[in-house]
Amino acid sequence: MTLPAAPARLRFGRALRAWYRGYHRDLPWRRTRDPYRVLVSELMLQQTQVSRVLLKYPEFLERFPTLESLARARPARVMEAWGGLGYYARARNLHRLARTVVQGGAPATLPDRPEALRSLPGIGAYTAGAVASFAFERRAALVDTNVARVLRRVFAPDLDPKTGPGRRRLWALATALLPRTGRATYVHNQALMELGALVCTARVRHCARCPVRGVCATYAAERP
């Protein structure tokens, strides 16, 4: 896959970020840069609907407001607080992570680089990029299901995201599209996810209201 030319990347990024500023949802985890709270939201949102996470997120943080409080908790209490979200391995990994970070008595802080974050229990490439970008405003790429769908439809309709080479190409594309600064990257990454959730959805492509249809290969191929 050939990466898009610089003018196309710039046009895509500017249109995407401008759209996000006007149309994004006001979600509680977007009002914080606290790494722990960002991490909790990202783990909860994996394979769980936003509407359900909106209910459980404040409840969980009320019980465990910090990494230290989570690390001190008994596993049964953590599982109880996670109740209703499913995929309990996420809660077990979060608990293990908290105990890993807190051990030794030093102030509990999450690392700010994707490479370091990936060394922690239950943190994969996407979650590491999300925490680095959303909590620390690092210039870090991320690719989840929504992002993969948007990037494939816009730039690489023939790419198979289920293969190893396809996934690697999507990550390379996501990296190539990053703005120059971490602050702009925060908006860019949030916008990619939001576009996939609200406009370029799995079931329906709402091309008429898509801000990046002007550079979208799928849209161009299907126009009369």
Main-chain dihedrals φ then ψ at residue 205, nearest 5 degrees: -100, 115
Query: Which residue in the list 42, 80, 194, 222 is annotated as catalytic?
Result: 42
115 is a catalytic site residue: no
Q: Which amino acid is at 130?
A: A
Return d(Cα 86, Cα 22) in angstroms, integer. 33
Return d(Cα 6, Cα 155) in angstroms, integer. 13
Return d(Cα 222, Cα 224) in angstroms, integer. 6
Q: Is 172 exposed, middle or buried (0-12, 13-18, 19+ CB in 10 A)?
A: middle
Judge contact between 100 and 71, C-beta under 8 A: no
Return d(Cα 39, Cα 44) in angstroms, integer. 9
Active-site residues, by number, are 42
